[in-house]
Amino acid sequence: MKVAFLASEVIPFAKTGGLADVAGALPKFLARLGADIRVFMPLYREVRIKNLPLEPVLAGAALDLGGRQVPFSVFAHRADGVTVFFIDQPAYFERDQLYGTPAGDYPDNAERFAFFCRAALETLRATGFRPDVVHGHDWQAAAAFAYLKFVYADDPFFARTRSLFTIHNLAYQGLFEKDVLGRIGLPESLFNMNDLEFFGKVNTLKAGILYATGVTTVSPRYSREIQTAEFGCGLDGLLRHRAGALNGILNGVDYRDWDPATDRLIPRNFGPADLAGKKECREELCRMFGLPEPADLPVAGMVTRLAGQKGLDIVCEALDSLLGLGLALVILGTGDQKIQDFLLAARKRHPVRIGIKIAFDERIAHTIYAGSDIFLIPSRYEPCGLAQMYAMKYGTVPVVRATGGLDDSVQEFDARAGSGNGFKFDEAAAGPFLEAVARSVRIFRRPAEWRKIVRNAMAADFSWERSAAAYLALYEKIAAAA
């Protein structure tokens, strides 16, 4: 099975969110299952300064993008059984950030990522790698499916190529003005409601939903949610139309990076058979945040973007009541200025119960996962979520809103049966959130039951092996499609 994998960000090369984690891990596990994978991503400044060993693949190439000849080069880097091709076009990718500045998105993002898609397809032809499946991710790769349908339709090289589009977050759709179609070399006739028009704009994401052979999302529940008005972001009708081609596959975790038994970023390693190291991680976590360790109170942790989508407005509304349940709270993240200011002010009011770091630091993040007792994820929506999976592996019990991948991966604890690995609430509001946290605190105060839920959480298996096998089976199904 030959697969071309198009993603705008890939760990460990460049990352802004969960897409990079998936695009970095999934190809490695597919390769172990025997797939022949080629990953394509832009050669950003962030990649260049890493001084990776890069092998020239194409030099002095050019493609026609809306009547303009745009030069580019391609470099390859091989690791973990996967070859990554970097598309080099400095005018588009030699920038400080991937998608924009604090003032907003780069105004030429449509051209930047359409060019990336065309250059990736041209590189496939130039290198003779004829994919069975082109697998593109999010709106930045969606133009590839329009090009395959309208530009390369009669090209014998792609005659047997099928395609898969993965939606990581439907809220980001790549909306641009009508005249962008001509600038990126697509027919202007596509500006109609049955193709790429969307409330007077060109919707790049629609190209993936409409023209790819198959469509996936990053959890089974999210694949159902986006077919509803509440979660469909205006595309629920189109997604219901394509329901027969829509699948939800839960993202996985690379346990080589996320395992308390081997994690080099935490103060002491531990495992389900011996949790002594978790206590040391808890002590160090409290020191990091300037808190006295509350021996008889649970420590609740959050590693998150400080934004309404992540439910931080719910946390702020409920904060005094949350502390009244009897816990300490540590939060690591950046985001909305109002939320940051509110939390910093709360820290001043409750210096021995709240710890806040407005930053992102990998070592601190790992220590929060390892040292917390409870992990809070009150997201309004969450296509998949990885934080709850990381937390469970470290014996930190998640409290989550029952949405998307959070609902798929967390099972409510049943003390009588001894089953379940966390706590859930349905409505995105302070009351239900507090009720779920209160349930977790009550169980924390019952040591035998708490040990049971901790071990249940640590036993949960969200490895990429399972997810990769599901993707490979879907590739085979798509490749056989007429």
- State yes or no: pLDDT of 151 exceeds 80: yes
Q: What residue ranges do the domains of the chain occupy?
A: 2-252+465-479, 276-461
**pLDDT for the residue 338:** 94
Provide mean pLDDT across the span 49-64. Answer: 93
Q: Cβ distance 320 to 430 under 8 Å?
A: no
Q: pLDDT-derived band of residue 103, with 50, 70 and 90 as boundaries?
A: confident
Provide mean pLDDT across the span 68-93. Answer: 95
Only one residue has tokens 């770091």, namely: 357
**pLDDT for the residue 16:** 85
- pLDDT single digits (tens) 251-285: 999 999 899 999 999 999 999 999 999 999 999 99
Question: What percent of the chain stands above pLDDT 70?
Answer: 100
Closest to 66 in 3D by CA, of 101, 122, 118, 28: 118
- State yes or no: pLDDT of 482 exceeds 70: no
Domain 2-252+465-479 listed as CATH 3.40.50.2000: yes
Which has the higher per-residue pLDDT, 264 or 104?
Answer: 264
Tell me the CATH number for domain 276-461: 3.40.50.2000
Q: Cβ distance 14 to 41 under 8 Å?
A: yes
Residues 319, 325, 303: CA angle, nearest 5 degrees: 50
3-state secondary structure at position 319: helix
Surface-to-core class of residue 56, CB atoms within 10 Å of its CB (0-12 exposed, 13-18 middle, 19+ buried): exposed
Cα(446)–Cα(459) distance, rounded to whole angstroms? 20
Closest to 467 in 3D by CA, of 188, 247, 224: 247
Q: Cβ distance 198 to 173 under 8 Å?
A: yes
- State yes or no: pLDDT of 50 exceeds 70: yes
Phi and psi at residue 49, to the nearest 5°? -75, -10
- pLDDT single digits (tens) 197-254: 999 999 999 999 999 999 999 999 999 999 999 999 999 999 999 999 999 999 999 9
**pLDDT for the residue 66:** 86
**pLDDT for the residue 17:** 81
- State yes or no: pLDDT of 126 exceeds 70: yes
Provide mean pLDDT across the span 399-416. Answer: 97
- State yes or no: pLDDT of 360 exceeds 90: no
Provide mean pLDDT across the span 156-160. Answer: 96
**pLDDT for the residue 295:** 82
**Mean pLDDT of the residues in the chain:** 95
Laid out side by side, the sheet with 246-248 consists of 55-65, 68-79, 82-88, 36-42, 2-6, 133-137, 162-167, 214-217, 246-248
Which has the higher per-residue pLDDT, 92 or 294?
Answer: 92
Q: Same fold for the domain at 2-252+465-479 and the one at 276-461?
A: yes
The string of DSSP codes covering 216-245 is EESSHHHHHHTTSTTTSTT-HHHHHHTGGG
Bond prior to 131 in cis (omega within 30° of 0) = no
